[in-house]
Amino acid sequence: MGVLDHVWLGVVTVFTQAPVATVFGLPISIVVLMVVLGFLGGIVVGATPGLGGPFAMAISLPILITIFGFNPDALLPVLGFLIGIMKGATVGGAVPAILFNTPGTPDSLMTTLDGFPMTRKGEAGKALRIAHFSSASGDTFSDLVLFTCAPFLAITVEVYLDFPEKAALIVLSLAFISAVVGDSVWKGILAALFGMFVAFIGTGEDHHPRLSLGTDALAGGLPLISVVLGVLILGEVFAALEDMWREKRATDSISTPPATGDNRLRLRDIRRILPFVGMSAGIGTMVGALPGIGSTLAATLGYATGRRLHKGDVPFGEGAPQGVAATEAANSAVAGANLIPVLSLGIPGNVAAVFIILATETISGFNPGPAVFRLTPDQINSEMVVAFGLFTAMVFANLLNWTVGGVFMRSMGIMVRIPKQRLLPIVLLLTLTAIYAQRPEMLSIYVTLFFGLVGYLMRRLRFSVLPFVIAFILANNLEDAVRQAFSATGADPWFLFSSPISIGFMALAVLVVVFFARGRGGQ
């Protein structure tokens, strides 16, 4: 049996497994239904400020297992639903970022930089259309790469990345993000260091929880979701409400952005953003194919590269459509390529991929690893059939994205009609409730509020929150990689400089900081 036989079997399974209904004489398989439900649900979740795809996946995985069970038959419906959520939430995530300046996940943070200024100029509709077009394009490109290169790429990459290279690569990403985002390199680096410090509280290898001040509250480490959502969402809610409070005191009214600008997506617009979409789709796909590096980095790199390329009349950060396009194409392009390390090595690159691995771990019949793409003469490799079934589900979700996705996503834009001073307090309660639902103790609410205050102060003192969030997420990975590299090399103090690749990464990290520090200093 050749590869093409497996591809065909995968496609057939997706469209024929256990039909549940008939539409116009065509049987609708359970897998198709689950992808559609997941995709539409994902858009709603992504478009709701304060919610994101990972949260929806976390809630739905146990429910799906209860419904479908653990047999191999459950694999494609469950994974199809998860993939639907993943893709829907990526597209939908642009909605709150553009309309309210409140990104649901760190991935869409860079979308706010130009998306929200466009809304203030009255071009919310255009911003949403550009986000959808770029997101769907990046997604398509990535899926094509996945379909053609999956088996070969991941194994090649993994061969070249050992512990020291992984540690050096994380250092490079952090240096890059700190230096590029925000208006001062040193502020960016301080924010990143602070984020790392917060991540070190209560963690570590000792049985004594370090820096926990003897409290039970800090002993388990600060919960990721409380810190990240506190800084990203509550910080923005506090700052935005204060702005409106000041405006009301000064003028006795609160202005709402008009919708009078040019809101169409014209051929001219597409021509203008196309180079940025292409560049970002490539970056996102490459980053996605690297094991263990997330979509947030892809979005940041896409945006930063776009800013270098850009020579238009509207600069990045003041409502340039190219900025929205560069970010959305990059973060969407991660999704497909990310399945390369997931399926062939079982190593996730972002939170969404973690849930796909958890699902395959719980349901029998699919074991992510090199065996997935192994061909045996005269035999069907059922794991490869599942893998290609999964790819088919992704392409199908992508078609949904092009057809109904844009319309459905823009219909979520109705939320812009709600006055912001009414909506943001609801977002506050929604976020606190979502956090409590995941960690049911009042303490997690207090921690979230504290980090909301931190996020507010950072905004008021002009510190960028992105380096803080990324450093917080990557800090423990970095510490683990460094410790593991040190142990694995038998306590070589120069382990970070043990191979040309890691020396290259470290040198690049220093160069990035020096370059941007000098560039900014001269302004």
Partner 1 sequence: MRFDPRSLGVAAAVAAFALLTLGIWIPADVESGVVETFRRRTVIGDAMAPTVVAIGMVGAAALLAASEILNRRGSGATLDRHSLAFIARFAAVIAVGLALMSHTGPLVVDAINALGGAIGTYRELRDTVPYKYLGYLLGGTVLVGGAIAVVEQRLTRGVALTGVVAALVLTGLYDLPFDDLLLPPNGDQ
Partner 2 sequence: MTFESFRSCAVAAGMAGALALSAGSAAAAWKPSGPINLMIAFAAGGGADTQARLIATELEKTKGWKIIPQNVTGKGGAVMARKLKSQPNDGLTIGIAVTETFGYNMLAVKKAGYSADDFTYVTTTAGSQMGIVAKTSRGWKSIQDVIAAAKGGATVKLGAMSAKLADIAYTIEQKYGVKFNTVVFRGGRKVLNAITAGDVDVGWVAGIQAKGVRAGDLVNLMSGETTRLKISPDVPTLGELGIPYDAGAKFLIVAPKGIPADARKGIAGAVASVLTDKSTKAAQFVQRAFGGPQLISGTALEKLISDGIAGSKKLMMATK
498 binds partner 2 (CB under 8 A): no
Measure the CA–CA gap between 488 and 486, rounded to whole angstroms: 6
Distance CA 74, CA 189 (A): 46
Q: State which residue, 263 or 498, has the beta carbon closest to partner 2.
A: 498
Residue 159 in the binding site for partner 2 (CB under 8 A): yes
Considering only 487, 507, 510, 521, the residue that binds partner 2 (CB under 8 A) is 487
With residue 176 as reference, give the H or E element that holds it: helix 163-180
CA distance 232 to 456: 9
- Selection from partner 2, partner 1, none that 488 binds (CB < 5 to 8 A by kind) is partner 2
**Segment near partner 2 (CB under 8 A), from 86-94, 202-210, 232-240, 318-326?**
202-210
CB atoms within 10 A of CB 262: 12
Q: Which of 83, 75, 128, 200 is nearest to 483 (CA)?
A: 200
58 binds partner 2 (CB under 8 A): yes
Binding string to partner 2 for residues 10 to 49, with x set by CB under 8 A, is what?
Answer: ----------------------------------------
Interface with partner 2, residue 489, by CB under 8 A: yes
Q: Supply 213's token pair.
A: 């001040």
Q: Indicate whether 72 belongs to the interface with partner 2 (CB under 8 A).
A: no
Other CB atoms within a 10 A radius of the CB of residue 418 amount to 14
Closest by Cα among 290, 281, 282 to 156: 290
In this chain, which of 27, 312, 317, 369 binds partner 2, going by CB under 8 A?
369
Q: Which does 184 bind (CB under 5 to 8 A by kind): partner 1, partner 2, none?
A: partner 1
Report the C-alpha gap between 314 and 205 in whole angstroms. 50
> Which amino acid is it at 326?
A
How far does CA 43 lie from the centroid of its chain? 14
For residues 279 to 318, the per-residue mask of contacts with partner 2, x marking binding by CB under 8 A and - elsewhere, is ------------x---------------------------
Q: Which residue's CB is nearer to partner 1, number 109 or number 475?
A: 475
| Inter-residue contact 65 to 18 (CB < 8 Å) | no
Closer to partner 2 by Cβ: residue 354 or 453:
354
Residue 130, beta-bridge partner list: none
- The binder of 436, among partner 1, partner 2, none, by C-beta within 5 to 8 A per type, is partner 1
258 binds partner 2 (CB under 8 A): no
**What does the block give as tokens for 346?**
């079982």
How many whole angstroms separate alpha carbon 310 and alpha carbon 42?
Answer: 32
Residue ranges binding partner 2 (CB under 8 A): 58, 61-62, 65-66, 69-70, 158-159, 162-163, 202, 205-209, 216, 219-221, 291, 345-347, 354-355, 358, 361-362, 364, 367, 369-371, 439-440, 480, 483-484, 487-490
